[in-house]
Amino acid sequence: MVSNKLFALLCLLPAVLGAHSSSATTSVPTTSGAKPSSAVPTTSSVPSTTSASSSSVSSVSSSSTSVVSSAPPTSASSSPATSETGVISIPLSSYPFTPYPTPTLPAYPPVFPATDPLNPPEVSNDPQVIPDFAPAWAAAYDKAKKLIADYTIEDKVNITTGVGWMGGLCVGNIPANKGFPGLCLEDSPLGVRDTDYNTAFPAAIQAASTWNRALIRARGLAMGQEFKGKGVHVALGPMMNMGRIAQGGRNWEGFGADPFLAGEGAYETILGLQQGGVQATAKHFIGNEQEHFRTQESSNIDDRTMHEIYAHPFLRSVMAGVASVMCSYNLLNDTYACNNDKTMNDILKREFGFQGFIQSDWQATMATLSAVAGLDMTMPGDVTFNSGDSYFGGNLTSYVNNGYISMERLDDMATRIIAGWYFLHQDSGYPEVSFNAFNLNDEVNNKHVNVQADHYKIVREVGTQGTVLLKNQNGALPLHKPRNMILVGSDARLGMSGPNEFSDQGGSDGILAMGWGSGTANFPYLVSPMEAINERARQDGSSLSYNFDDWNLEQAGNLAVGQAVALVFINSDSGEDYITVDGNEGDRKNLTAWHNGDNLVQAVAAQNNNTIVVVNSVGPLILEPWIENPNITAVVWAGIQGQEAGNSIADILYGDYNPSGRLPYTIAKNPADYPAQLVTGGSGSEILIIDYTEGLNIDYRHFDAAGIEPRFEFGFGLSYTTFKYSNLEISTIKSQDNAQKDLVDAWSNGQASPIAEGSSTALWLHEPAFKVTFNVKNTGSVSGTEIPQLYIQHSADAGEPPSILKGFTNVSVDPGKTQKVSITLSRHDVSIWDVAAQGWRKPSGKISFAIGASSRDFRLQGVIPA
Ligand code: BGC
């Protein structure tokens, strides 16, 4: 370990201290991270020109003899002397290496039971059980070490090197080796991409909006079963970058703008995915919060903010036993994320005790010596798509042969990758890959395995429960057999050429049920609002008319006259930067509705005093142009719902489900109210600097701290009933971790947790330490589900935002009935990251908390016992 620590000390002090040069103008490598694609309508979602076996890297990498170059590293291979990184450059030298061992904490069932990923603990709203994956990792490591015992250097290198872009059946492929069938790595975070007979699940942002751990787990499990059913070994999700900027193109792929909510989303999704049998990937590590110049920007994040906000979902992923982590395209404090010793070795592997492997994002590897900084696998293998060379492959072999990279490190890389495969028991009875991600018409490799089962039910439930009711006046909703009604807006119907009209969903002219980019899957079918509501109209005898032209405002208004209800459907889309839609280069250009939506709403509301707006949006919109219009009686924030979108919307409109979704981000009155904005500009030839100067104050934390009134705050959502909170109690839970009693005592006395392997995921820090109980009464006339939220409020000298989410639950209550609810808190939940001590510390002073129905609607107030 000495060598690692010394290395960290010499090279990484600036990063540890959160220092960075704000004027860095490092030259950038030529890779763009872009994938061949287009935003034009096409019937096939993939380029059809390249055959699966045409990649030169594929043939090189999969042949253990030809891959080896005995010559020293040259050319496009990493040239550490000309550093692509800013502050941290790894000098060409030899690096002795000791792997971080599997942490060996004694198990404490029932709090800390030894857990196999195929058999995770039951979902609990009140998490008392912390799965201990260490024994399962240790067993997987033993098997992996045995398997590679007679591997040559080239064999081991091949395990670490993808076969090259389009060099195999999946979006990423590791070649077979002795006793190892190779790996298929495939997107996406919402279902199996690039195939058929799959389910198109709601996006993660929708799962987060449910605030329902059981549903989030169920979604993960169903997706895991589909990945396994298709023969995918490594699913490229979940994605957990934070919704730091409202316009962030990929925000919908993640779990919103709060680290605790995102952490719980990641945790449950991973437990579910891996229970289904597939290895999950926590991505993108770390700081990839915008798409503009994602490969040419440095996200500069101070150490405390890094730990408390951006790394937190990854910490929870490690606690869920995640098998893989994907490092991101961007630089982090002036060093490429996939070349960053501080984040990969020090935070992820040492501090979090991560036992799996780190893979690069596609073309995000920048150097062979990234292996020393903690990178275990390069994807898709070639330096740039189809370049025919690799930073790993023959170059890694040379670096090992020449002593720049130790054999121990190479062993560790191969061991970690193969251990992930054993960890999920993929060595026995795992299905073969049965699709060709690059050619849906390849009848040899596409076996068209139907993996959908009845997962449409989960899709509909997540779609429904993630829908947030923002406004409801004059009893507008739920609908009661309206005499006549009109649906207005193209978002109410299907796209003109079906749900898979645009390659990778890079466009939309119908209901928006997915953003665009690699985070997509093909729709098997898509239920439009028109279809679902038509069905209800038939049952109710309602007259249903419609107008899907977004631009003929006069016509829309005229047709709305005399209708008992006018439903206007609007949307807003975004995605990954390799596709530009209507001038939106991944990130959204603005926070206004697409397709003339705001004008359409106003045109209809001008003619109809029962106008209901339904919004399918990837993230916040500015609703000010019309939100206070008294003719707009209800607003339904439907989100990004997947293939059952129309049914989920109808479930809410007709009251089949009483809305319980809550906003996973703040909807501001003005774009400038948000604490951080999209950074545009940059020349492309130098690194764009993105300073995360708002620190801990992202999203609602900033609105609270700066006293800005949002339109709808984080955690907000209405119901068709009302709830009353009472009888708050809090008690202390005795530590069950006797072996760590000294640490518990030291923490109670205000000392930071020690620096050690796995120190941030230790049982004593995460076991339940406080139990909060209270009553929730349904004071209305219909059954409903409430989402009580717990916010910690530190004293001012702790340097925290006014209120920070640290607990939530969901409780269904019948009218007039009362339910007792509990939420537990761990020591970690009430700690702050102490930068100087590099540990988690209980801040001095009183620690208060509030229980409420949103981040601003507090109903009960208490104090954590000292
Ligand atoms: C994306 C990743 C994705 C990968 C493979 C990259 O462009 O950033 O999220 O998993 O492509 O498709």
Residue-by-residue DSSP string for 262-294: HHHHHHHHHHHHHHTTPBPEEEEETT----TTT
Q: Which of 192, 359, 362 to mutate to test the pocket of ligand 1 (most atoms within 8 A of CB)?
A: 362
Distance CA(421)–CA(415), nearest Å, equals: 10
What is the reported pLDDT for 62?
30
Q: Which of 45, 186, 187, 192 to mutate to test the pocket of ligand 1 (most atoms within 8 A of CB)?
A: 187
**Coil, strand or helix at 419:** helix
Return the higher-pLDDT residue of 22 and 170: 170
Does the structure show a pLDDT above 90 at 61? no
The rounded Cα 631 to chain-centroid distance in angstroms is 37
Q: pLDDT category, 10, cuts 50, 70, 90?
A: very low
Which pLDDT tens digit goes with each residue over 604-650? 999 999 999 999 999 999 999 999 999 999 999 999 999 999 999 99
CA distance to 2, 18, 434, 577, per residue, from 379 (Å):
30, 28, 21, 18
Which pLDDT tens digit goes with each residue over 326-361? 999 999 999 999 999 999 999 999 999 999 999 999
What's the rounded mean pLDDT across residues 117-125? 93
Containing 21, the helix (H) or strand (E) segment is none
- Closest C-alpha to ligand 1, atom 4: 362
How far is the centre of ligand 1, averaged over its atoms, from the C-alpha of 364 (Å)? 10
What is the reported pLDDT for 272?
98
Is the C-beta atom of 244 inside 6 A of ligand 1? no
What is the reported pLDDT for 89?
66
Which pLDDT tens digit goes with each residue over 690-721? 999 999 999 999 999 999 999 999 999 999 99
Cα–Cα nearest to 189, from 318, 326, 319: 326
Cα–Cα nearest to 128, from 858, 859, 647, 766: 766
What's the rounded mean pLDDT across residues 196-211? 98
Q: Is the bond preceding residue 106 a cis peptide, omega within 30 degrees?
A: no
Is the C-beta atom of 337 inside 6 A of ligand 1? no
- Closest C-alpha to ligand 1, atom 6: 362
What is the reported pLDDT for 102?
75
Is the C-beta atom of 841 inside 6 A of ligand 1? no
User: How many other CB atoms sit within 10 Å of the CB of residue 365?
Assistant: 30
Backbone angles phi, psi at 531, to 5 degrees: -65, -45
What is the reported pLDDT for 17?
29
Cα–Cα nearest to 732, from 653, 860, 797, 824: 824
What is the reported pLDDT for 5?
32
How far is the centre of ligand 1, averaged over its atoms, from the C-alpha of 530 (Å)? 33
Return the higher-pLDDT residue of 211 and 102: 211
Is the C-beta atom of 285 inside 6 A of ligand 1? no
Does the structure show a pLDDT above 80 at 85? no
Dig out the tokens for 482 from the structure: 């309206």
Does the structure show a pLDDT above 60 at 518? yes
What's the rounded mean pLDDT across residues 87-99? 74
How far is the centre of ligand 1, averaged over its atoms, from the C-alpha of 361 (Å)? 6
Q: Which of 236, 330, 516 to mutate to test the pocket of ligand 1 (most atoms within 8 A of CB)?
A: 236
Q: pLDDT category, 112, cuts 50, 70, 90?
A: confident
How far is the centre of ligand 1, averaged over its atoms, from the C-alpha of 34 (Å)? 10
What's the rounded mean pLDDT across residues 845-859? 97
How far is the centre of ligand 1, averaged over its atoms, from the C-alpha of 162 (Å)? 14
Q: pLDDT category, 125, cuts 50, 70, 90?
A: confident
Dig out the tokens for 110 from the structure: 């029932």
- Closest C-alpha to ligand 1, atom 11: 362
Dig out the tokens for 351 from the structure: 């501090």
What is the reported pLDDT for 554?
98
What's the rounded mean pLDDT across residues 581-599? 98
What is the reported pLDDT for 93?
77
What is the reported pLDDT for 92?
78
Return the higher-pLDDT residue of 528 and 86: 528
What's the rounded mean pLDDT across residues 560-587? 98
Sorted by where each starts, the structural domains of the chain and their CATH numbers stand as 133-424 (3.20.20.300), 455-665 (3.40.50.1700), 721-863 (2.60.40.10)
What is the reported pLDDT for 464?
98
Q: Which of 258, 341, 361, 411 is catalytic?
A: 361
How far is the centre of ligand 1, averaged over its atoms, from the C-alpha of 861 (Å)? 44
DSSP state of 729: E
User: How many other CB atoms sit within 10 Å of the CB of residue 846?
Assistant: 12
What's the rounded mean pLDDT across residues 39-48? 28
Distance CA(670)–CA(684), nearest Å, equals: 30
Maximal C-alpha separation, the chain: 82
What is the reported pLDDT for 87?
54
Is the C-beta atom of 188 inside 6 A of ligand 1? no
Dig out the tokens for 803 from the structure: 């209120």
What is the reported pLDDT for 24?
29
- Closest C-alpha to ligand 1, atom 7: 362
Task: Please state whether beta strands 565-572 and 611-617 pair in parallel, antiparallel, or not at all (unpaired).
Answer: parallel
What's the rounded mean pLDDT across residues 42-55? 28
> What percent of the chain has pLDDT above 70?
89
Which pLDDT tens digit goes with each residue over 732-777? 998 877 778 899 999 999 999 999 899 999 999 999 999 999 999 9
Is the C-beta atom of 518 inside 6 A of ligand 1? yes
Query: Which are the contacts of 518, defined by CB distance < 8 A and separation ≥ 6?
Result: 35, 171, 187, 188, 193, 236, 504, 576
CA distance to 473, 603, 613, 634, 659, per residue, from 630 (Å):
9, 14, 12, 10, 22
DSSP, residue by residue, 298-333: EEE--HHHIIIIISHHHHHHHHTT-SEEEE-SSEET
How far is the centre of ligand 1, averaged over its atoms, from the C-alpha of 623 (Å)? 32
Does the structure show a pLDDT above 80 at 45? no
What's the rounded mean pLDDT across residues 38-56? 28
Q: pLDDT category, 104, cuts 50, 70, 90?
A: low
- Closest C-alpha to ligand 1, atom 3: 518
What is the reported pLDDT for 19?
30
361 is catalytic: yes
What is the reported pLDDT for 738?
78
What is the reported pLDDT for 375?
98
What is the reported pLDDT for 99?
84
Q: pLDDT category, 69, cuts 50, 70, 90?
A: very low
Q: How many residues does the structure list for the chain? A: 866
Mean pLDDT score across all residues of the chain: 90
Is the C-beta atom of 361 inside 6 A of ligand 1? yes
Is the C-beta atom of 364 inside 6 A of ligand 1? no
- Closest C-alpha to ligand 1, atom 9: 518
Is the C-beta atom of 187 inside 6 A of ligand 1? yes
Is the C-beta atom of 283 inside 6 A of ligand 1? yes
How far is the centre of ligand 1, averaged over its atoms, from the C-alpha of 189 (Å)? 10
Contact of 363 with 384, CB cutoff 8 Å: yes
